[in-house]
Amino acid sequence: MKISLIQPGRNNLKYLKWSYDSIRKNQGNHEVEICVADDASTDGTWDWCQEMMDKDPKFKAILNNTGKRLGHTILYDRLINEVATNDICMIYHADMYLCPGALDSIEKHLTDKTIISLTRIEPPLHPDGPEKVLRGFGVEPEEFDEESLLNELSNLIVKGKTTEGIFAPWAFWKSDFQEIGGHDPLYAPQSKEDSDIFNRFQLNGIKFIQTWEGCVYHMTCRGSRRNTIDKAKNIYEDSPEWLAQNMRSTRNFIRKWGHFVKHDDYMKPVIPHKYDIGFLIKNDNPQLLEILEPWCNTIYIDFGIVNSYINGEQPNTSLNLSKKFYPLNNPTFNNILISINGNNFTQQDYEIIQNISEIITDSGEVGEFELGNLKITINNLETFENNLIFITNSHNEKN
């Protein structure tokens, strides 16, 4: 099998070196092209990349020399579209050790319209889950207990077992990736871009397979979220930069899909329907507007606070927020209308809003009803999630 591993990196050189060694050691008889993007690092990453390109003909690298972080949302796609030469690629993190036999398992399961995820063996830095193996063999390359991992690997893999989750590392056909337009730059530089593309793959008919015969040891979150060389205090706390961007990306995910990220226990996406929803908000206030704005397509509102809200929030999204607002007395045109009174809006009402897609689906018919303090009018049950599969430039432009 010929496969290109896709690895953006920012100030995580020691992990890149550790990962590279494991790939070359355990790639077996597969032809592996390693594609690295240095995202304006200051730790010597680019010098190492140049050295490796001289030594290893299957090592390729590009440099973001702007001095400003682009993020893996952008650099994944550049590596896939501009650098990788193989039909099969794999999103692969710098803090992953490739276990022996992992690529054999990918080759075994990768057929048309499939994506294969390797099972992650992780130290106990995060809560356990049925989709991974929680076992500690070190949390830094310098303390990695490779010998113990390899000795126990046969007891950690499960021959013949597959489930349907998807997460990094995930191997895919480049053509399937390019067909849907790759990652959505709405989430740049990072966070939620993976959940977005997983939804879109699933809606486009791709089957997900997690193989339990092939594994990586994953130190977790060293790309930026808990990289102590890049603004994180330690490996147990998320960096302020990541937390702020995760909040922005979460709000953008809700704006696009109408719900929080959802998946089953094995990390297979759960995708509620996307509806055309309009909010009619009376007795508004800035806090209420901030809470509610991402959850609908259109807001009919007193314009007194709208401009200040847009000025403050627009830098956090590439979606054009000004197109979302109409005066309260404007004729309504949405398929679903929800009337909200700021004077009696409660936490229970907000919880209803957060689950509104499922509530509308369960209602199953055109009509009016009340939940909590909300009046909900269903004029049309047309759904739009399939319109989100393919990336176009239009929804990312402020015009």
Label residue 393 by pLDDT band (50, 70, 90). Answer: low
169 in Cβ contact with 91 (< 8 Å): yes
Mean pLDDT, range 356-372, rounded to an integer: 97
Q: Is the pLDDT of residue 264 over 70?
A: yes
Q: Is the pLDDT of residue 87 over 60?
A: yes
Query: What's the pTM?
Result: 0.95
pLDDT of residue 396: 37
Label residue 190 by pLDDT band (50, 70, 90). Answer: very high
φ, ψ for residue 163, nearest 5 deg? -130, -175
- Point out the least confidently predicted range of 8-12, 17-21, 205-209, 354-358: 8-12
Longest dimension (CA), the chain: 70
294 in Cβ contact with 186 (< 8 Å): no
Q: What is the mean pLDDT of the chain?
A: 95
The per-residue pLDDT for range 97-135, each reduced to its tens digit, is 999 999 999 999 999 999 999 999 999 988 999 999 999
237 in Cβ contact with 226 (< 8 Å): yes
pLDDT of residue 308: 97
Q: Is the pLDDT of residue 178 over 60?
A: yes
Label residue 180 by pLDDT band (50, 70, 90). Answer: very high
Percentages helix, strand, coil for the chain, rounded to the nearest 5? 35, 25, 40
The per-residue pLDDT for range 196-247, each reduced to its tens digit, is 999 999 999 999 999 999 999 999 877 677 676 667 778 768 788 888 999 9
83/283 Cα distance (integer angstroms): 54
Domain boundaries, the chain: 2-257, 277-382
Q: Which two tokens stand for residue 179?
A: 């067909």
Q: For the range 122-128, what are the long-range contacts, defined as Cβ-Cβ under 8 Å and sequence gap of 24 or more?
A: 122/217, 122/218, 122/219, 122/220, 123/219, 123/220, 125/220, 125/221, 125/235, 125/236, 126/220
The per-residue pLDDT for range 129-173, each reduced to its tens digit, is 999 999 999 999 999 999 999 999 999 999 999 999 999 999 999
Continuous segment of H or E residues that includes residue 288: helix 286-292
pLDDT of residue 58: 98
Percent of the chain with pLDDT over 70: 95
Q: How many CB atoms lie within 10 A of CB 76?
A: 24
**In CATH, 2-257 is 1.10.287.3510:** no
The per-residue pLDDT for range 27-78, each reduced to its tens digit, is 999 999 999 999 999 999 999 999 999 999 999 999 999 989 999 999 999 9
pLDDT of residue 397: 37
Label residue 398 by pLDDT band (50, 70, 90). Answer: very low
If you write DSSP's letter for every residue of 308-354 in order, what string do you get?
A: HHHHHHGGG-SS-GGGGEEETTSPP--SEEEEEETTT--HHHHHHHH
Cα–Cα distances in Å, from 335 out to 274, 292, 298, 338? 11, 18, 11, 10
Mean pLDDT, range 253-277, rounded to an integer: 98
**Residue of 324, 273, 278, 277 lying closest to 303 (CA atoms):** 324
Determine if residue 121 is left, alpha or beta; phi over 0 gives left, psi from -120 to 50 gives alpha, anything else beta. beta
pLDDT of residue 236: 64
Give the CB-side neighbour count of residue 159, counting CA atoms within 13 A.
Answer: 2
pLDDT of residue 394: 37
246/187 Cα distance (integer angstroms): 9
